[in-house]
Amino acid sequence: MDADLPLDIAAIFGCAVVTGVGAVINTAKLTPGSSAAVIGLGGVGLSAMLGALASGARLVAAIDVSPAKLELARTLGATHVYDARKPDCAEQILDELGGADFVFEMSGAAPAARLAYQITGRGGTMVTAGLPGPAQRLELPLAELVATERTVKGSYMGSASPVRDIPRYLGLFRAGRLPVDRLRTATLSLDEINGAFDRMVSGTSVRDVVDPWQKTSE
């Protein structure tokens, strides 16, 4: 990375951006003019959403259970937002948008994966990059999978080559096309790192940056 890039910005280009943006660019190979949907709006999911927008998706639907994250997604450019807590979420998406060309499941939960498959359109691609517990399973209707020619793919760390990808993503960031700095929800001191983990587990943060030189907040 360039030496003039501030470290608090550079830190954000770690796991979440590499995984989320890479799932779009490397794994799915999203094409301009496609429709996309992202389920799970943590750091990885919002990075995937930004990656879809940067790749030229004509519409991007953001899906989550958190109203705050749905609102953040809207401010970052999502064209549609949906509350995954609603029992008719899949039907609403299909009624309004039809099936999406590319669907990204980023929450690591079997119900989210089922929803992702439901809203993938004919000939579309579902990509999952979450890491669920090993006991979780996804059952698919095989005849429907064949008839609709859908693709289901896994993506580990965004199919990344950091030497290749991080400079490319930094270039998109500098061009204003990948504003991942807006995913930062707090800057904390090293003494506050346990609280940062608590915020992450509770889902109240997107990306917290720990600055070892920062004094503990009062």
pLDDT tens digits, one per residue of 145-165: 999 999 999 999 999 999 999
In the predicted structure, residue 45 carries a pLDDT above the cut 60: yes
- For the whole model, what pTM was predicted? 0.92
Q: What is the mean pLDDT of residues 105-128?
A: 95
Question: Among 57, 27, 2, 21, which Cα is nearest to 179's?
Answer: 21
| Residue 14, φ and ψ in degrees, nearest 5 | -85, -135
CATH number of 8-159, picked from 1.10.150.120, 3.40.50.720, 1.10.8.60, 1.10.520.20: 3.40.50.720
pLDDT at 199: 87
C-alpha span between 74 and 38 (Å, rounded): 12
User: Looking at residue 37, what is its pLDDT?
Assistant: 98
Count of other CB atoms within 10 angstroms of residue 94: 15
- The one-letter code for the residue type at 14 is G
Q: Which two tokens stand for residue 1?
A: 């990375």
Percent of the chain residues topping a pLDDT of 70: 99
